[in-house]
Amino acid sequence: MKKILSVLFLSSLIFGSCSKNISDKENVKIRFMFEPGELKFISSSFNTDRQTMSALYGNKEALSLLEGARHSHDRVSLKLVTYKMLEDPQYFGSKVNGELLRVETVKAGGDGKLDYTTEYGEIPSGESREQRIADIIDTDPVNFPQ
């Protein structure tokens, strides 16, 4: 009887030590990823001072606007998605996108005027809506070889 109790105690101790620590769940942050839908990737940028990385998505009208075409702004749709930079634990010196900080949208209204909204997060401190529109419109699109 003593041997059976000893074996049961020892096995429960072994199985108990293999369980995951509950406090580990508190340290895990949920990473939200952005789904661009029908919008296409246009450009990316990195801000090492703020430790952020951004990706710009848009439709073909937005791409022609950024490339300098001088036609009406109707149907322009742009989204700038900004993430916090994190160290990649698998590669030394590499960065990956971490926490989603903000999703900014620039769309053309019926009158062709560009309108700015934030879908997630807040405008960076010290910047106006007009300045954000100008920063997004000044982005140079990435040219992929055909």
**pLDDT tens by residue, 73-131:** 678 889 999 988 877 777 777 777 778 889 999 998 767 788 888 988 888 788 888 88
pTM of the model: 0.70
Average the pLDDT over 136-141 and give the result. 86
Residue 69 half-sphere exposure toward CB, CA atoms < 13 A: 13
Under 8 Å between Cβ of 77 and 62? yes
Average pLDDT, the chain: 78
Average the pLDDT over 64-79 and give the result. 77
pLDDT at 10 over 70: no
The reported pLDDT for the residue numbered 139 is: 84
- Looking at residue 34, the DSSP 8-state letter turns out to be -
The reported pLDDT for the residue numbered 32 is: 65
Under 8 Å between Cβ of 80 and 53? no
The reported pLDDT for the residue numbered 146 is: 63
Average the pLDDT over 31-41 and give the result. 80
pLDDT at 22 over 80: no
Q: Structure tokens of 138?
A: 């000044």
